[in-house]
Amino acid sequence: MRVSLFGTELTTTRLGFGCASLMGRLTRRQSLRLLDAAFDSGIRHFDTAPLYGYGEAESVLGDLLKRSRSHVTVATKCGITPPKRSAALSVAKSASRALVAVFPQLRRHIRRRAERMTHKGSFSVNECRRSLQNSLRELRTDYIDVLLMHEVAPEQITPELIDFLEEVKKRGLIREYGTATTVEHTTSIRSERLESGTIVQVPHCILENSLEAFSLRSSAAVITHSPLGAQFRTLVGKMRSNPALCNLWSRELGIHCGDPSQVGTLLLAAAMKENSTGIVLFSSVHEEKINQNAALLSEARFSERQLLAAKWMMLESMGKAESRHAAR
């Protein structure tokens, strides 16, 4: 199941693998195994950034690209500068992984500390040029398919920045560029008709439908991420604490709603339906989940009725739907 992105010459799979979880709590070997699982299961779009994996995700993705570059599309970003690598930082990363393995509850605290070491809003031409050069080197490629302005705000998109992006596009260093930011900023950028490229990347799931907030598909190629949304854990908790409701939903949807993996795949399928002309990104640190999700590329696992029922029931559970008709 492939898609030709609107307004571009890019053709790739409708599912993409997000690399944000690589190298953070995983070793390089474990991270590469996940990338291999995604590629072997048929996924051909990979999304990364200099920030991901404490600054190491691009490098491990480069291991995959060495042998598969012509078969995949790659998106990376500029605008957020990771901390500089050092021996001390490497030791700290190893120590953090060891701590999280023993005390998983520390993961969020360690992530927040790591984020404080980054520099956001790095959108000067010199910073973006340096970021692109670093990404090309880490990914071990001579071009990037999609370069996205990471968490960019409207006022940060300057004529000089667009001139630079057009320049590197003409030189063949990137094929397309665009934005990867919040729904609010994306709406402002598009409504103000700011020059910002042909791609928009935004969060979207049926529990928090961002695609309804603006109409982009007639003017830009849309990539969505976070198909489970911030409310997914709440939903899972509700299923576990209310067996009667879980059984009712399981009968209605034809899946075991007490299994987060099955519910997650259903939400991913719903996100693919709602962004039917673009790419939907997902991420996982489990090979079996990668294979399960990637199967959506080749099989219609859920019926139209299941997807409609899922949308109504999920929204109702979050108190966001007054009636089944409204959700449809």
What residue type is assigned to position 287 of the chain? Answer: E
pLDDT of residue 210: 77
Question: CA 39 → CA 29, 142, 175, 193, 226, distances in Å?
Answer: 15, 20, 21, 37, 20
Mean of pLDDT values over 219-234: 88
Q: What is the pTM of this model?
A: 0.88
User: From the CB of residue 166, how many other CB atoms can be counted at a distance below 10 Å?
Assistant: 14
Per-residue confidence band for 301, with pLDDT thresholds at 50, 70 and 90: confident
Residue 317 pLDDT more than 90? Answer: no
Tell me the CATH number of domain 2-82+118-228+275-301, given options 3.30.360.10, 3.20.20.100, 3.40.50.620, 1.10.10.10: 3.20.20.100
Residue 326 pLDDT more than 60? Answer: no
pLDDT of residue 62: 97
Which DSSP string do the residues of 209-248 spell out, in sequence order?
A: --TTT---TTTSEEEEE-TT-TTHHHHHHHHHH-HHHHHH
What residue type is assigned to position 97 of the chain? Answer: R
| pLDDT over 90, % of the chain | 63
Across the chain, which distance is largest between two alpha carbons, in Å? 60
Please check whether residue 222 is in contact with residue 210, taking contact to mean a CB–CB distance below 8 angstroms. no
169 vs 173: CA distance, rounded Å: 6
pLDDT: is 314 or 149 the higher one? Answer: 149
pLDDT of residue 95: 53
Taking alpha carbons only, the member of 297, 276, 261 closest to residue 45 is 297
pLDDT in tens, 36-95: 999 999 999 999 999 998 889 999 999 999 999 999 999 999 999 886 655 545 545 555
Quick one: tokens of 231? 């409310």
Mean of pLDDT values over 160-180: 98
